[in-house]
Amino acid sequence: MITFSLNTGPSAWAPLAMAAGIFLMLVVVLALRFFGRKGFRYSKEKAMPFYSGNTVTQEERVRASDFFWGFFEAFKGYYARMRELHSGIVNDYVLWFVIVASLILVSLALGVVLWA
């Protein structure tokens, strides 16, 4: 039987219904816009963006490396530790593999001892 909704065990997700709802909302939004004032002429000065009163130019834009400054300040310790771990030295890559493989083997051995 072909169903169009996803049964996730305790619930079902019907995306087509949601898409129809979004489409309906878009129709309502367009209808409201239709009843608005006509006669807006686009000009560059009226539609320019501002950041806190300053115009946004190529030199004064927010660069990607400055995004989420607050988050990185709050987690400075964590990121310092991560930066040390991601050292780029290939021997450390193999060392991590050895560590994880031994942990897996130890946990399997514990599983045998405790449950079999």
Partner 1 sequence: MELIPFLGAALLFGIGLFALVFKRNLIKIAMGLSIIDSGVNLFLIALGYRSNGIAPIFTTAPVSNAQAAATMVLPAPQALTLTSIVIGLAVSALMLSLAVLLFKHYGSADARKIRGLRE
Partner 2 sequence: MISFILQHAPALCLATPLLFAFLTPLADKAGSRVRKAFVFLGILLTALTVFTLAQNVILQGARVYTMGASSPALTLPSGMTLPVRIILEIDAFSALMASLALLVAFFAVVYSFRFMKGNSLGKFYSLFFVMLAGLIGLVFTGDLFTLFVFFEILSISSVALVAYWYKRKKSVEAAFKYLLISSVASLCLLFSIGLLYGEYGLLNIAALAASMRLSFVTMVALGLLLAAFSMKAGAAPMHYWLPDAYGEAPTPITVMLGIATLSSLYALLRVLFTLFGSFSLLPVAGWVLICLGVVSMFVGVTMALKQDDIKRLIAYTAVSQAGFIFVGVGVGLATINSPALFSAFGENALKGGLFHLVNHGIYEALLFFSAGAVIYATGKRRLSSLSGLARKMPFTTVFFLVGAMAIAGIPPMNGFASKILIYESVYRFNPLLTVLALVVSVLTAVPFVKAFSSAFLGPEMAEFKKTKEVPMGMLLGMAVLAVIAVLFGLLPGLVVETIIAPAVNALASQAAYVGVVL
Write out the residues near partner 1 by the rule CB under 8 A: 82-83, 86-91, 94-95, 98
Considering the complex, state which of residue 28 and residue 56 has its C-beta at the smaller distance from partner 2.
56
By the rule CB under 8 A, 64 interacts with partner 2: yes
- Look at the block and give the residue holding tokens 């990121």: 79
User: Cβ of residue 12: shortest distance to partner 2, in angstroms?
Assistant: 8
Exposed (0-12), middle (13-18) or buried (19+): which is 26, by Cβ within 10 Å? Answer: exposed
Nearest approach, Cβ of 40 to partner 2 (angstroms)? 21
User: Residues 31, 63, 76, 77: which binds partner 2 (CB under 8 A)?
Assistant: 63
Q: CB 109 → partner 1: shortest distance, Å?
A: 18
- Between residues 5 and 28, which has the closer beta carbon with respect to partner 2? 5
With helix as H, strand as E and coil as C, how does 18-72 read? HHHHHHHHHHHHHHHHHCCCCCCCCCCCCCCCEECCEECCCCCCCCHHHCCHHHH
